[in-house]
Amino acid sequence: MSYTINPDREKPWNGLPELPIEENYYRDLDILEQLGESKAAIAKLQGRSVAIPNQAILINTISLQEAKASSEIENIFTTDDELYKAFSDDPANLKQGAPKEILYYRESLWKGHRYLRETGSFDIKYFELIYRTITGLNDGIRKPFAQTHIRQGGSGPNAGKTVYTPPRGEGIIESKMENFIQFMNDDTLFPIDPLLKMAIGHLQFEAIHPFRDGNGRTGRIFNINFLTQKGLLDFPILFLSKYILQNKESYYAYLAGVTQRAAWKDWILFMLKAVENTSIDTFHKINDILSVKDAILHVLEKETEISRPDSLVEAIFTQPFTKVKHLTDKKLYAENTARQYLNRLHEMGICERREINGGHYYLNLELYRILAS
Ligand SMILES: Nc1ncnc2c1ncn2[C@@H]1O[C@H](COP(=O)(O)OP(=O)(O)OP(=O)(O)O)[C@@H](O)[C@H]1O
Ligand SMILES: [Mg+2]
């Protein structure tokens, strides 16, 4: 099967070819070499993550970073401080705004993860679930004749010009989604390495562009959920969007390379490289967090009379900002003791006490530094 080139980027590309793509890509030596590196890196990350005593800790903080980076690709910005503060409060009380949108992203990541655990495979409901959670919208697949174009962003000479127009028309998105979903689920009919499937699948999903908004973020959540669904990782900890954010221009250019010129090779190499770099990066972050955590525990055990220091350390590594309430909710300490201990951490330079809107928050300085780096 040969890949048809999109004839006109202003017109809906109803000729978008179904998957799989041409066979020669699966035998391309550059792709295979990079695939080997990427697989090794993600396997190493998975190996490290199973050794973490309390996985919830890292997953909480790392998925928050993923949510922040992916949202920034779509120009939803917030400062780390604002985000961490929002994260340590009750999300139900949050006003609409960037921190809330980012928490929606994180919620979607988890909803998707659990959905796949329960159902075992991708289906259209999975994508609608992610889309709705992320955008807060209630509809589903785009209406057959709704106008949707992907335009060049930024302020350069081509800003505002159409880069690509996704397919539309009665039943067209539905049937392309069906093919895409079958490709992702069926490893007998499509026996292709999961990392290659993820790279190809992400592009196909963006090219179908089934929703009126949120396709970029939905597609990036899909990447991570796919990796856990295929067993490459136990938990959605790969922080892929950071790499995409740092290479945003390339991300758009390679997407357009496929939808305009069928340039699959560059796209696949880009995504495989993203997996390799991010796996290495996440691996180091996990190591750094664990060793700092151990060091702090050691100091508390040696230099203080704090009771249950291990639980206190677990608690301050569950999110960057800790509040007295976090400790009392867990029934760890009485309120006065909890406050006294957190103040002690502040005096020792482990946490920094901050007053925000009349409430006290204790920022875990080392955790904050590692996450931000
Ligand atoms: N040439 C292209 N071909 C296919 N998909 C593209 C192309 N250029 C960009 N995209 C995808 O479209 C996404 C933007 O679509 P959409 O607006 O629906 O998503 P979003 O998550 O809401 O992002 P935004 O908030 O920026 O609109 C990008 O993040 C990217 O994944
Ligand atoms: Mg959008």
Segment 200-206 shows an average pLDDT of: 98
Decide if 365 contacts 359 (C-beta within 8 A): no
Instruction: List the alpha helices (DSSP H) in the chain.
Output: 29-50, 55-73, 80-88, 98-119, 124-135, 172-185, 194-208, 215-229, 240-246, 248-261, 264-303, 309-316, 324-329, 335-347, 365-372
pLDDT at 331: 95
Q: Return the amino acid letter for 230.
A: K
Ligand 1: distance of its center to the CA of 199 in Å?
A: 15
Q: Given a cut of 90, is residue 31 above it in pLDDT? A: yes
- What is the per-residue pLDDT across 116-162, written as a single tens digit (0 to 9) for each? 999 999 999 999 999 999 999 999 999 998 889 999 988 888 889 99
pLDDT average, residue stretch 169-182: 97
Same domain, 333 and 256: no
Better pLDDT: 7 or 271: 271
Tell me, yes or no, whether 133 and 247 share the same domain: yes
Q: How far is CA 285 from the centre of its chain?
A: 16
Residue 296 lies in a domain: no
pLDDT at 328 > cutoff 70 = yes
CA of 71, nearest ligand number: 1
Could you tell me the distance, in angstroms and rounded to a whole number, from the CA of residue 127 to the centre of ligand 2?
A: 16
Is residue 347 domain-shared with residue 219, that is, in the same domain? no
User: Same domain, yes or no, for 204 and 338?
Assistant: no
Q: Identify whether residues 255 and 341 lie together within a single domain.
A: no
Atom of ligand 1 nearest to the CA of 207: 4
Judge if the beta carbon of residue 255 lies within 6 A of ligand 1: yes
Give me the pLDDT at residue 294, please: 95
What is the 18 CA–ligand 1 centroid distance (Å)?
20
Classify residue 66: in a domain, yes or no. yes
CA of 150 to the centre of ligand 2 (A): 10
Whether residues 250 and 111 share a domain: the answer is: yes
Its domain, for residue 232, covers 23-285
Nearest atom within ligand 1 for CA of residue 217: 21
Give me the pLDDT at residue 97, please.
Answer: 83
The C-alpha angle with vertex 111 and arms to 166 and 82, in degrees rounded to 5, equals 90
CATH of the domain at 32: 1.10.3290.10
**Do residue 127 and residue 274 come from a single domain?**
yes
Buried b (16+ CB within 10 A) or exposed e, 292-327: bbeebbeebeeeeebeebeebbbbbbbbbbbbbebb
Residue 227 burial class via C-beta count within 10 angstroms: exposed 0-12, middle 13-18, buried 19 and up: buried
Mean residue pLDDT across the chain: 93
Q: Is 89 helix (H, G, I), strand (E, B) or coil?
A: coil
Looking at residue 99, its pLDDT comes to 87
Nearest CA to ligand 1 atom 24: 74
Q: Of all protein residues, whose CA lies closest to atom 29 belonging to ligand 1?
A: 216
- 218 and 280 assigned to the same domain: yes
Q: Is there an atom of ligand 1 within 6 Å of 105 CB?
A: no
Please report which confidence band the pLDDT of residue 51 belongs to, taking 50, 70 and 90 as the band edges: confident
Same-domain status, 205 and 125: yes
**232 plus 107 within the same structural domain:** yes
**2: in domain:** no
Q: Is 148 in the pocket of ligand 1 (CB under 6 A)?
A: no
**Domain count across the chain:** 2
Per-chain residues with Cβ under 5 A from ion ligand 2: 213
Residue 163 alpha carbon, nearest atom of ligand 1:
1
Q: 86 with 204, same domain?
A: yes
The pLDDT of residue 297 is above 50:
yes
**Nearest alpha carbon to residue 320 among 277, 356, 284:** 356
State the DSSP string of 3-23.
PPPPS-TTS--TTPPPSS--G
Query: Dihedral sign, CA of 125, 128, 132, 137?
Result: negative
Determine the Cα–Cα distance for residues 180 and 135; give it in Å rounded to an integer: 22
Tokens at 369, concatenated: 């530094």
Residue 1 has pLDDT above 80, yes or no: no
CA distance 238 to 236: 6
Q: Which of 369, 367, 333, 364 is nearest to 348 (CA)?
A: 364
Question: Looking at the structure, do residues 183 and 77 belong to the same domain, yes or no?
Answer: yes
User: What is the Å distance from ligand 2's center to 217 Cα?
Assistant: 8
DSSP code of residue 351: E
